[in-house]
Each structure stands twice: as C-alpha cells, then as structure tokens.
Amino acid sequence: MARKIRKDITVGGLEKKLGVAPGTIKNPDGRDARSDKKLETLQKEAAKKTAAKKVTPAKAKATKKTVKPTPITPDQKTASLRKVKSNPKATTKMAKKVSAVIKKTIKK
C-alpha cells in the first residue's frame, strides 16, 4: 500500500514526487500554482470555490419562485375541517389552526 501524500507538502515537491512536469498542478481558477504553495492551501481554496458554486444557484432558484395561494371553496373548507377533526391524533389546537388558515385565505 502506498503512503498518503501529506498536506504540508509544497506544490513543487509534490510535482517532483509524482514525476510530473512543472506547472501541472493548477489553482482552482485554472492558473498554474506557485511551487512554494502548500497542498492544504490548494484543497481549502478548491473547497471554498465548490461551496460558493453550490450556494448561489440554490438562492437564485428559491427567490424566483413565488406561489400565490388559491382561494378555498366552501366545500374544501368543510372537507379539510372534517379531515382534521376525524384524525384521532389531531388536537383541538390543530383544528383551530386549520380553521384560522382557511379564514385568512377566504378573506383574500
């Protein structure tokens, strides 16, 4: 089993150890990494860049979607209250919350 590469090795030392040409190891932005830069620093920069990529598209998608509540018909109102009241685990607080939400949507 081969030994693991330590994180405190420099890029120049790693390129020599692996036997690759100088300039093979790149920064996350695509430029050649300096030979005195440590491997740990490159890994941290790469992690930051991938984390930044994952966060920004999710925020953009979440802010674009807006859903308008549709008005509830009287039939839907009675059916939802009936469903909550018939549930053996439903509490009276839950029934009151459902009726309050229904009242809010009807007013709009």
Residue with tokens 């839907």: 76
Is 52 a domain residue?
Answer: yes
Q: Which parts of the chain register pLDDT below 70?
A: 1, 54-70, 81, 83-90, 105-108
What's the pLDDT at 9? 92
How far are the Cα atoms of 42, 55, 57, 90 from residue 49, in angstroms, in the given order? 11, 10, 13, 47
Residue 50 CA to its chain's centroid (Å): 11
**Total of domains in the chain:** 2
Based on the fold, state whether residues 35 and 79 are members of the same structural domain: no
Q: How many Cα neighbours within 13 Å face the side chain of 42?
A: 23
Is 98 a domain residue?
Answer: yes
- The domain of 95 spans 74-107
Rounded to two decimals, the pTM is 0.46
Based on the fold, state whether residues 36 and 56 are members of the same structural domain: yes
Is 59 a domain residue?
Answer: yes
Based on the fold, state whether residues 55 and 86 are members of the same structural domain: no
What's the pLDDT at 60? 53
